Amino acid sequence: MAGQKIQRQTGVALWRQIADRIRTSINHGDFDETGMVPPETTLALQFGVNRHTIRSSLAALAQEGIVRAVQGRGTLIERKERLSFPISRRTRFSQGIGDQVRETRSVLLAAGEEAATTELARQLKIKTGAPLVRLETLGQADHRPVSRATSWFPADRFGDIAEIYRTTGSITKAFKELGVPDYVRVVTEITATHADEGDLTDLQLSPGAIVLVAQALNADLDNVPVQYSISRFAADRVRFTVEN
């Protein structure tokens, strides 16, 4: 556990800061030898806070299913994971993390049609107001939610993509059926922010958590934009890897 001090009177409660730090340490493998978090009294000493504050932190982590406290023994680590998510010209959800998990799945949350806003039109190189298909999807790895994405497709070429996606569960396959045998990632923009209400429910996050936001543009092999998407990842579960 790095010796960074925690911040007081910042609008972020100590128990939350400490919970975030312990979660990071778990993901980093700091406690792999024992498979347990250090005793509450030890942590309280390390962080310079009261034991009750540590208990609040561990309670939050237990709520997330990351640790489990056993009276008399200690606090066991139940789960640790931070998926490495490659971002490259050939970025696809399932491919990159396929070797890190047993099963990846993509679920359609919602679908609909809407007119292109100025921003979406600029990205997809179409006219403002042109019809778009919007898909809301949830990416899962081993039945754990990892990302939630909103994607827009030009409706003239991909009017039926929602239905095809619903049956195949794959954007790549849907594209193939609609005459796009292959596509590439043109650009990805990455930002970070606090989790909103949708993130909390869809990604099963605890409030105050951080999400990584990736805005991506995909194009077919003729360099014509086919998909613009905004994906939100649980920051403590993934890591983006940019291979150049």
Torsion of CA 171, 211, 228, 183, to 10 degrees: -50
Long-range Cβ contacts of 195-199 (<8 Å, 24+ apart): 195/234, 198/148, 199/148, 199/232, 199/234
**Least distance in Å: CB of 7 to DNA?**
9
The verdict on 12 binding its own copies (CB under 8 A) reads: yes
Minimum CB distance to its own copies smaller for 131 or for 208:
208
Nearer to DNA, 128 or 193 (CB): 193
Distance CA 209, CA 47 (A): 20
DSSP string, 52-115: HHHHHHHHHHHHTTSEEEETTTEEEE-----EEEEESTT--HHHHHTTTSS-EEEEEEEEEEEE
Residue from 42, 50, 63, 84 touching its own copies (CB under 8 A): that is 84
Residue at token pair 């990736």: 214
Please pick, from the candidates 52, 196, 201, 204, the single residue that binds its own copies as defined by CB under 8 A. 196
239 binds, among its own copies, DNA, none (CB under 5 to 8 A by kind): its own copies
Residues that bind DNA (CB under 7 A): 9-11, 13-16, 37, 39-42, 48-50, 52-53, 55-56, 58, 69-75
Tokens 């009177």 map to which residue? 9
Asked if 150 is part of the footprint of its own copies (rule: CB under 8 A), the reply reads no
CB of residue 76 vs DNA: minimum separation in angstroms? 9
Q: What CA–CA distances, in Å, run from 22 to 73, 146, 197, 223, 227?
A: 19, 20, 24, 45, 38
10 contacts its own copies (rule: CB under 8 A): yes
Smallest distance, its own copies to C-beta of residue 241, A: 5
Among 72, 82, 65, residue whose Cα is nearest residue 30: 82
In whole angstroms, the minimum distance from the beta carbon of 231 to its own copies comes to 13
Binding mask 109-148 for its own copies (x = CB under 8 A): ----------------------------------------
Listed residue (149, 153, 127, 151) closest to 225, CA to CA? 153
Binding site for its own copies (CB under 8 A): 2, 4-5, 7, 9-13, 15-17, 19-20, 24, 60, 84, 87-89, 91, 184-194, 196-198, 200, 206-208, 210-212, 235, 239-244
